[in-house]
Structure 1
Amino acid sequence: MLNARQVQILLLLWNQDHSGEYLSKEVNSSRRTIIRDISALNQELSIKNTAVINSEGKYSLEIHNYSQFQELITQFENQERNILYYLLINDFLSIDELMDKSFLSKTDITNSIDRINQRNKDILEIKSKVGLGYFVDLYFATKVDLLAYLISVIPKDTDSNTLKDTFPKDLREYLTDNQSTAQLQAISLISSANFDDFYNHKRDLLRNIKESTIENQIELVSKNFSIKLSKKRLAQNIATHLKRYNLFPTFISNLLLKQMSDLKQKEPFAFEMAQNLQAEIEKNDPSILINSDFLALYIINCMEIKTSIKPVKILMYTAQRSIAYINENLITDAVGNISMTSIFNIDEFNKQVTNESYDILVTNGFNDGLKHAPDVVINGLIDEATISRLKKLVSDNYFHNNLTQMLPKENYLFYENRSDNYFKVLKNVLKYFIDEGQLDQKMSVKLLNREEEGNQLMINHVALPHAVNETDFSRMFAVDLKTPLKLNKTDIYLILIVIVNDKNDDYKQLFNYLYKILNKKQVSQTDIEKNYTNILKYFRTE
């Protein structure tokens, strides 16, 4: 079993590579101890071939099985949560009482307490008193808040319907059923908690959170940053977030630390602005609970990104907002040409699907309340395999949706060729598109030169002359032929000219899409009438 120091080393290396000297300072141990800990970690990680820590130069963590690695981290986290749960519902507990309640060994408990204290220095500390035992000293939020969060992520047996009916009606819009039930259960478990006092305090906090004030604070803070934002939308989102967060504070789990760390490196100004915004809000009202990392997620979400193409619309349901925004950022970072909408309520998800048109539906886990089958199901944080599947779905939808922009009617030609010479016909059709103002002379020369130099691409009797140009999005020109051409002793029924910008990721997706379509079916010579409408049907049908 790993001790607290070894788990801390594992989490540090999950975030990024580190030297032995850095690790020894972070965990307050000698270099020799670090070497022993790395050896112990590799022994534990090798049992199921989960991962390995390489020691060439800096120490680096190489994960072989991400789901097993998640299970390992979750195992430690659940131990910590159980210990916190029992300490919160009791004023004091001895080590023997903790062992009896949690079914953990003395070593596991002391290691877990060390991990909790190391990772939550700004939130709490588990202390001990001689003759009494362990207790929790909280610096952030209240015992009810922390206990409610723990119950929401590790539910305990309770009559949820009975509890739900007692939740204050004026606060129901802010919480999910799971959260409100967890909060009521937490109040009932902590002897010192008072129902009326707790919710009156929450109402006072909510009254102090005003969208207009936050909008002014965003305006003030944003002057120091060159980030283009939809400030009105950001103020609305943050005001709603702060009301939910102050009514039900959530805490970032170990599984999100790596993603948060990566985001901070990719969007440093968003996180810096979030810290400044937190300071400004707290200056106005120190009683409001804020986590700047969550604010940064909203800032990133509201950044204005201009695009000339029609994005693939994705609707995603996730109950927990922090996980939703982490997944949203992981997806938008890995998958281009998308517009994502996150929903946190099943009924709202069903309503959105009914009222609006979405290309792809994503849910976090299965839920009995779903009226529409999801295209993609995520369990917790999205993994590489699911991202790859989502990329394929997005790629297909993207080109299906934007085909008329890439291949407008002006870029289609039915050519009554009298010659079967491929290069002669290509030269003539390029001249046609130049005369029509759809292509410039320079690009025509580039395309022709590439073909004559032997850079031909043929897929299933379709020739694809292709070249690179500075363009906002990929462009295609389709030439239907009256009679087949000959190219390298192969009959050519269609010429599809493709112009891409190799600095944009979509060019790879375009060729993958074309390859898939062209390999699945052959361009017909006689079965259908040759016109623009039928060419679109051909490229839109799998």
Structure 2
Amino acid sequence: MLTNRQIKILQHLLIHSFYGTELAKVMKTSRRTIIRDISTIDDWLRENNYGYIDSSKKYLIVTKRDKALKIEIQKLKVQKYRILYQLLSCKNISISEITEKFFSSKRDIESIIKNLNEEYRHLFTISIQPRKGILISLSTYERINLIASLLFSFVNLNIDTYEAKKNSYLYLENIRHTKIVERILRYETETQLCLQIQAYYICPECQLKCNNHGARP
């Protein structure tokens, strides 16, 4: 599984060729890191039959499957957030359950978790603990906000949220003309509010409250 930086390098190389020093400057990293990343990307391209990187002069992608490669890159970018969504929407989930659900190896999932920890290092930490599974250090409030943000930013996550959508629309319809909704809609759109309510029904802690006490947002 490619890292965020490697995916970005791949996207740059799809536009035009680069010298190693040029890529290092664009990616704000060292030339040594670029050399390692290029080797990893080249292995990935060959393993998946997309082509290879010609490094005889500048780094140049040689492929006859340009369209398929671009589609795969988009899938790679979204896959990480689909896995994050899965972690946010489940109270307890093991790494074996994640690997089975996403048809990925343990090594790939661990790499994605490492990437997520780097990207969201100021917000949370994801840890893999024996007998406890994969844990994410977020409060219920932060979890709801992050789920809503994912639903808003990545409409192509390809996840089933039918029940949560139905519940959120019903709830919003019931409170639509209340003063609290009027105040909220001064600061966010109705779509954002719907996603916040939807995220409440997806959040595992809130699901437990709803099931035990019939609680609502």
Fold match (TM-score > 0.5): yes
Give the fraction of aligned pairs with identical amino acids, expressed as a percent: 21
Q: Which residue of 2 aligns with 1:11?
A: 8
Tell me the C-alpha RMSD between the 2 structures: 4.3
**What is the CA-CA distance between 1:184 and the residue it aligns to?**
1.1
Q: Which whole-Å CA distance do the structure 2 matches of 1:187 and 1:118 have between them? A: 26
2:180 maps to 1:175: no
1:147-296 to 2 correspondence within 5 Å?
Answer: 147-152=147-152, 153=155, 154=157, 156-158=161-163, 159=166, 161-165=169-173, 169-170=181-182, 171-172=184-185, 174-177=188-191, 179-192=192-205
Structure 1 residues 28 and 114, CA, compared in 2 at 3 Å: closer, same or farther?
Answer: farther
Q: Which whole-Å CA distance do the structure 2 matches of 1:126 and 1:110 have between them? A: 10
TM-score (norm 2): 0.62
Q: Which residue of 1 aligns with 2:214?
A: none
Structure 1 SS opposite 2:128: strand
Q: Does the 8 Å contact 2:7/2:73 carry over to 1? A: no
Structure 1 residues 39 and 172, CA, compared in 2 at 3 Å: closer, same or farther?
Answer: same
Q: Which whole-Å CA distance do the structure 2 matches of 1:62 and 1:180 have between them? A: 46
Structure 1 residues 58 and 13, CA, compared in 2 at 3 Å: closer, same or farther?
Answer: farther
Q: Which whole-Å CA distance do the structure 1 matches of 2:101 and 2:78 have between them? A: 14
Structure 2 SS opposite 1:88: helix
Between Structure 1 and Structure 2, how many residues are aligned?
188
Structure 1 residues 35 and 180, CA, compared in 2 at 3 Å: closer, same or farther?
Answer: closer
| 1:155-191 Cα deviation digits (max 9, x unpaired) | 52231532442565222462243x3332212112324
Q: Which residue of 1 aligns with 2:212?
A: none
**What is the CA-CA distance between 1:144 and the residue it aligns to?**
1.0
Q: Which whole-Å CA distance do the structure 2 matches of 1:66 and 1:44 have between them? A: 15
Structure 1 residues 10 and 97, CA, compared in 2 at 3 Å: closer, same or farther?
Answer: closer
Paired AA for residue 184 in structure 1: I
Q: Which whole-Å CA distance do the structure 1 matches of 2:66 and 2:185 have between them? A: 37
Q: Which whole-Å CA distance do the structure 1 matches of 2:138 and 2:55 have between them? A: 38
Structure 2 SS opposite 1:131: coil
Paired AA for residue 162 in structure 2: D
1:124-143 to 2 correspondence within 5 Å?
Answer: 124-137=124-137, 142-143=142-143
Q: Does the 8 Å contact 1:86/1:101 carry over to 2? A: no
Q: Which whole-Å CA distance do the structure 2 matches of 1:63 and 1:94 have between them? A: 37
Q: Does the 8 Å contact 2:80/2:112 carry over to 1? A: yes
1:440-455 to 2 correspondence within 5 Å?
Answer: none
| 1:480-511 Cα deviation digits (max 9, x unpaired) | xxxxxxxxxxxxxxxxxxxxxxxxxxxxxxxx
Structure 1 residues 143 and 60, CA, compared in 2 at 3 Å: closer, same or farther?
Answer: farther
Structure 1 SS opposite 2:82: helix
**What is the CA-CA distance between 1:22 and the residue it aligns to?**
4.0
Q: Which whole-Å CA distance do the structure 2 matches of 1:26 and 1:166 have between them? A: 53
Q: Which whole-Å CA distance do the structure 1 matches of 2:86 and 2:123 have between them? A: 17
1:392-403 to 2 correspondence within 5 Å?
Answer: none
Paired AA for residue 189 in structure 2: L
Structure 1 residues 163 and 118, CA, compared in 2 at 3 Å: closer, same or farther?
Answer: same
2:151 maps to 1:146: no
| 1:60-118 Cα deviation digits (max 9, x unpaired) | 55787775444212212332122211211234422123235445442332232233234
Paired AA for residue 85 in structure 1: Y
Extract unaligned runs of 5+ from structure 2.
210-216
Q: Which residue of 2 aligns with 1:98?
A: 98
2:114 maps to 1:114: yes
TM-score (norm 1): 0.29
Q: Which whole-Å CA distance do the structure 2 matches of 1:18 and 1:162 have between them? A: 56
Larger % of strand: which?
1
Structure 1 residues 67 and 115, CA, compared in 2 at 3 Å: closer, same or farther?
Answer: farther
Q: Does the 8 Å contact 1:8/1:115 carry over to 2? A: no
Q: Which whole-Å CA distance do the structure 2 matches of 1:63 and 1:106 have between them? A: 29
Q: Which has the larger radius of gyration?
A: 1
1:299-310 to 2 correspondence within 5 Å?
Answer: none
**What is the CA-CA distance between 1:33 and the residue it aligns to?**
4.5
2:55 maps to 1:41: no
| 1:183-208 Cα deviation digits (max 9, x unpaired) | 212112324459xxxx9xxxxxxxxx
Q: Which whole-Å CA distance do the structure 2 matches of 1:125 and 1:115 have between them? A: 11
Paired AA for residue 202 in structure 2: L
Structure 1 SS opposite 2:117: helix
Q: Does the 8 Å contact 1:76/1:112 carry over to 2? A: no
Structure 1 residues 106 and 166, CA, compared in 2 at 3 Å: closer, same or farther?
Answer: farther
Extract unaligned runs of 5+ from structure 1.
200-542
| 1:211-246 Cα deviation digits (max 9, x unpaired) | xxxxxxxxxxxxxxxxxxxxxxxxxxxxxxxxxxxx
Q: Which residue of 2 aligns with 1:79?
A: 79
Q: Which whole-Å CA distance do the structure 2 matches of 1:42 and 1:103 have between them? A: 19
1:339-358 to 2 correspondence within 5 Å?
Answer: none
Q: Which whole-Å CA distance do the structure 2 matches of 1:73 and 1:86 have between them? A: 20
